[in-house]
A and B are shown apart, each in its own frame.
Chain A
Amino acid sequence: MPLANFIPTADDYLRYLPEIILTVVGVVIMFLEAVGGERRKPALGWLAGAGLLAAIWGSVVALGVGGTGFQNMVIVDGFATFFRILVLVIGLLTIVSSTQYLDREKANAGEFHALLLFSIAGQCVMASANELIMVFIGLEISSIASYILAGYLRDDRRNNESALKYFLLGSFATAFLLYGVAWVYGLTGSTNLAEVRRVLMTPESAPNLVLMGTAAALMFVGFAFKVSAAPFQVWAPDVYQGAPAPVSAFMSTGPKAAAFAVFLRVFITAFGPIATRWEPFVWGSAIATMIVGNFAALTQTNIKRLLAYSSIAHAGYVLVAVTAHSEIGTAAAMFYLAAYAFMQIGAFAVVTWFSRQGEKFVNVDDLAGLGERQPMVAAMLTIFLLSLIGVPLTGGFFGKFYIFRAALDSNLVWLTVIGLLNSAVAAYYYLRLIVVMYMKEPGAATENIGPVSAGLRVAILGSALATLVLGIFPSLVLDFAGRSAALVK
């Protein structure tokens, strides 16, 4: 192929506008961090926020010139735009909920924001990847930045543990993914998703199904790790417990949503023709993930650890939607990831505020009396917990409802039954938090608790509002998800 064909067009750059904006703003923040003094640190947070807003605008512009770009490497469709905007909004909420935390822990703010933007840029690359190499590059950009974020407070022992575990296990999982990509290329002669699908569909060129299944399994290991699906979920509780609370909120939503985006795109677009081979495995993984997450969460005493196990369980519900392998399944997964992001970030924002300097108060029993002493925050946390349970009028309810409906449509009756039983189990540990908040005698931990900072207030109120809006008017998001769920084939 002549090299001149590789020169991108102006539209190609527009299709990549969000990633370009994020990278430029991230680099500028790094530069200013090195040049500027301590005084200018707060401005960097504002700059990062402005960059994320600009990137949301860029995503909309990119959708205007939708289609494939950069020699088919990148695809900008509704699906990509949905996940781009989702991770960008997650980024905004993370920034507002981390300002007070970074001041409190006396942590350098500049790098934090630059790393956050780079991580989100990687997730946008993943969302719009149309090529296994782009999937890998996006995953690496996103992961490497989050490895550093997990150990951001580098004088803190638990932060170090968290970052090291995340890094070692994460690189191992990425190696599996890359090995899977190599197999796919060897068997089909292409890394382009649509091209892989075409080769698999053509009987005379279809490769050995056992080898192809191995390739898909290797890639599944990589994705399952990133979404913390069983049996590759072991890292999640330790990492989320050790990392700074706002970073845990980010890691359990942003990278997870982006990983599910590529998971769906790769397995439904490229590996769609061999679905009968991978569906049983994803089915098994979905059940194991739900059961492991929910039952382990029952006995947790640390709130961050509890939320980590609950995050594993929620990945299990989304895997149910992946197993459904249909357009409504994809739409349900998209809706669920959006609803889940808001409730998870909201809950973590409350933990961020409550834990205080050095994250001293992170036990479930510390919440005793919060309902009496801080009724407003307690009410917000209750909304997030009810949404995590899946109570009607919250986003979590419709998320679960659409996922199980999609599963029933695909005749996954047993998976639906097990999923519903799991939701009942989950209700116990979320309700336990509410009981402690409202019905226990106020303890020492809720005494002399400072006010919620303006940034955290925005994060908590915004997440609560989004959770309620998704629960009362789900069609606002679901319609768009439904229209974009038809992946390019």
Chain B
Amino acid sequence: MLDARGGDLDEPRFDTVFRISLYSVRGFSAHFPALRHFMPNSYTELYFPVLVQAIIAMALAAGLIAASALLGKRAKSPLKDTPYESGMVPSGSARERFSVKFYLVGMVFILFDIEAIFLYPWAVVYRQLKLFGFVEMLLFIVLVLVGFFYVWKKGALDWSKPESARKVVK
């Protein structure tokens, strides 16, 4: 059975399921009056368990920190105050100035990385979308390629370009 927008009515839609929760809970307690005391009938009651869970979570975290502070042994040494580098001995300060090239390359990488991720959902539904999906994805890739070409031609990927050639903000 199809609804006005062509959706399949037999298949419950996510939003319907989502919205129906509170009403179905109300309807359920109407049929079983004895259960009414246990069934939530307002948003406050419906979300009460969430509140309880939040309190337990916070209490647990605070309790563990407090327990380790009260019960744990403390041995202070300068080595303990150094940054953790997965076991390596840290060398030099982390507050250095990095070349702006890292920023540029990092940004370009993230952009293309995220655009490549769009290919995965397309691959999953490729059979259902048939030629349409193929053409749309082709257009998408062409757009990404133009962007890549632009970045390339503008010299953003040129690592050897001397820093002094760039203009500095006055």
Contact = CB atoms under 8 A, between A and B. Distances in A.
Given A1-B6, A34-B154, A154 B169 contact: yes
Contact of A4 (B13, B128, B152): B128
B95 interface: no
A3 B19 contact: no
Nearest to B150: A34
A188 B169 CA distance: 49
A4 B130 CA distance: 9
Contacts of A208: 43
A5 B6 contact: yes
A30 B170 contact: no
B170 A1 contact: no
Interface in A1-28: 1-7, 27
Contacts of B147: 30
A160 interface: yes
A157 B170 contact: yes
A38 interface: no
B169 A155 contact: yes
B16 A1 contact: no
B167 A2 contact: no
Q: Is the interface of A mostly helix, strand, loop or mixed?
A: helix
A188 B5 CA distance: 17
Nearest to A208: B43
Contacts of B43: 208, 211
Contact of B150 (A31, A156, A185): A31
In this complex, which of A1, A27, A35 has the most chain B Cβ atoms within 10 angstroms of its Cβ?
A1
A456 to B, nearest CB: 27
Contacts of B6: 1-2, 5
A33 interface: yes
Given A1-B8, A31-B150, A189 B19 contact: yes
A27 to B, nearest CB: 5
A190 interface: yes
A71 interface: yes
A34 B143 CA distance: 14
Interface in B103-133: 125, 128-129, 132
Contact of B7 (A1, A30, A31, A185): A1
Interface in A165-200: 185-186, 188-190
Q: How large is the interface on B (under 10, 10 to 19, 20 to 34, 35 or more residues)?
A: 20 to 34
B81 interface: no
A154 B13 CA distance: 49
A2 to B, nearest CB: 7
Contacts of B170: 155-157
A27 B146 CA distance: 7
A431 to B, nearest CB: 37
B149 interface: yes
Contacts of B143: 27
Nearest to B142: A27
Contacts of B168: 155
A165 to B, nearest CB: 16
A190 B129 CA distance: 24
Given A1-B6, A155-B167, A189-B19, A7 B129 contact: yes
A3 B129 contact: yes
A475 interface: no
Interface string B63-94: 00000000000000000000000000000000
A71 B7 CA distance: 11
Contacts of A7: 129, 132
A6 B133 CA distance: 10
B150 A3 contact: no
24 contacts: A1-B6, A1-B7, A1-B8, A3-B125, A3-B128, A5-B7, A6-B129, A30-B147, A31-B146, A31-B150, A34-B153, A35-B153, A154-B167, A155-B169, A155-B170, A156-B170, A157-B169, A157-B170, A160-B169, A185-B15, A188-B19, A189-B15, A189-B18, A189-B19
User: Which 5 residue pairs across A and B have the least CB separation, nearest first?
Assistant: A34-B153, A189-B15, A189-B19, A3-B128, A1-B7
Given A3-B125, A185-B15, A188-B19, 16 more contacts: A1-B5, A1-B13, A3-B128, A3-B129, A7-B129, A30-B150, A31-B146, A33-B150, A34-B152, A35-B153, A72-B5, A156-B170, A157-B170, A189-B15, A189-B16, A205-B19
